[in-house]
Amino acid sequence: MFDLVYNTLFFASYSNVFGLGNVTLGSFDILLAYVVTIIVSIVVALALRIPLLPSKPYRYSFDVSAIYPTPIIAIGIFSIFLVLNYTFMYNGLLLAVIIGILSALFVKYLFDFVFPKPLNGDEGEDI
């Protein structure tokens, strides 16, 4: 499970393609950036009036919420940037804030267009 953190540390601190080989990130910097990404994405999602939890029943709900999928998308996009060894400024904290904001905006306005909800069992296609 924590192999992702090890691989991210390895790729982020090994070398830099862009000639900034002296810039390295420690495990604390990366974990702090992940936490900032999660918190910013949830706070911005709540500010955009996305509900904290999906509607009941939780198990079969395809509604978006601030808990899921907002921070999951933010963590995934931020991980891609870290593996590509792009941290921008302040050891990735500014990038974490930007990705947290953009992921909340994506979930609010574009998530249903990219990932449409499945049809109900009662509804059918028009013939």
* pTM exceeding 0.85: no
Is the sign of the CA dihedral 87, 11, 36, 59 positive or negative? positive
Ranges of the chain whose pLDDT falls below 70: 1-24, 60, 120-127
- Residue extents of the structural domains in the chain: 3-9+26-114
Q: How many CA atoms lie within 13 A of 49 on its CB side?
A: 0
Euclidean distance between CA atoms 90 and 32, whole angstroms: 11
What confidence tens digit (pLDDT) does each residue in 108-120 have? 999 989 988 877 6
Instruction: Give dist(CA 126, CA 113) in Å, integer.
Output: 20
